[in-house]
Amino acid sequence: MLEVNPLPLPRVARSDSEAGLSIAEAARRTGVSVHTLRYYERAGLVVTPVGRTAGGRRRYQQLDLDWIVICTKLRATGMPIKAIRRYAQLVSTGRGNEQERLALLEAHRAEVTAKLAEIQENLRLIDHKIDVYRGRLAAGDADQLWAPGSPADVR
C-alpha cells in the first residue's frame, strides 16, 4: 500500500485551472492515444471530470493519469468498457458501495481466470502441433511416419 503523501503542494497554486498536462502529454505518459483518451471520457470511464482551462482545453492531473492506467490494465484483462464504466460510477459515487465494487471485481476475476484456463488448455494443442512439425522437419521431409490422409493429429 502506498503512503498518503500530504506535503508536496507548496510550489504552485493548486487551484490554478491552467495546471496540469495537455491531452497530448497525458497520451504520451499513459500510452493511450488522444483519441482513446477522449473516447474513454465520452464513454464514462472517468471517475472525476478532467479539468479544463478557461479556453476549454483538458488538463490532466496525476490522479487522472493513474486512473487511466488502471482502466488500461482492466481493459488488458478483457474487462468490457461497460463494466469499467460501472466500476467508475461506483468509485465516483463514493463510499457505501464497496460491496458492489467487490462483486464486480470478483465476477470479472472469475471470467479472467476461466479465460486463462481456456487459453492455456488450448495452447497445449498448439504446442503439440509445434512438436509434431519440429519432429517431422527434423526427420526430414521425405520420411513421413504417417500416411497421407492420416489422423487429424498431424494436420
Site residues (CB under 7 A) for DNA? 22-25, 33-36, 38-39, 42, 53-58, 75, 80-82
Tell me the per-residue interface mask from 96 to 125 with its own copies, x by CB under 8 A, - otherwise.
Answer: x-xx-xx--xx-xx--xx-xx-xxx-xx-x
User: Angle formed by the axes of helices 62-76 and 23-30, to 10°?
Assistant: 50
Nearer to its own copies, 54 or 152 (CB): 152
Looking at the Cβ atoms of 49 and 135, the one nearer to DNA is: 49
Is 8 a binding residue for its own copies by CB under 8 A? The answer is no
CB 19 within 8 A of CB 8: no
Per the structure block, which three cell numbers stand in for 107? 465476477
Collapsing DSSP to helix, strand or coil, 32 comes out as coil
Q: Site for its own copies (CB under 8 A): which residue of 28, 35, 57, 134?
A: 134
Nearer to its own copies, 54 or 76 (CB): 76
- Judge whether 100 and 83 are in contact, CB under 8 Å: no
60 class by beta-carbon count within 10 Å (0-12 exposed, 13-18 middle, 19+ buried): buried
Degrees (nearest 5) of the Cα angle 81, 87, 90?
145
- Say if residues 20 and 55 touch (Cβ distance below 8 Å): no
Instruction: Quote the least distance from Cβ 38 to DNA, whole Å.
Output: 5
Binding site for its own copies (CB under 8 A): 1-2, 4, 47, 63, 66-67, 70, 73-74, 76-78, 91, 94-96, 98-99, 101-102, 105-106, 108-109, 112-113, 115-116, 118-120, 122-123, 125-127, 129-130, 133-134, 136-137, 141, 144, 146-148, 150-153, 155
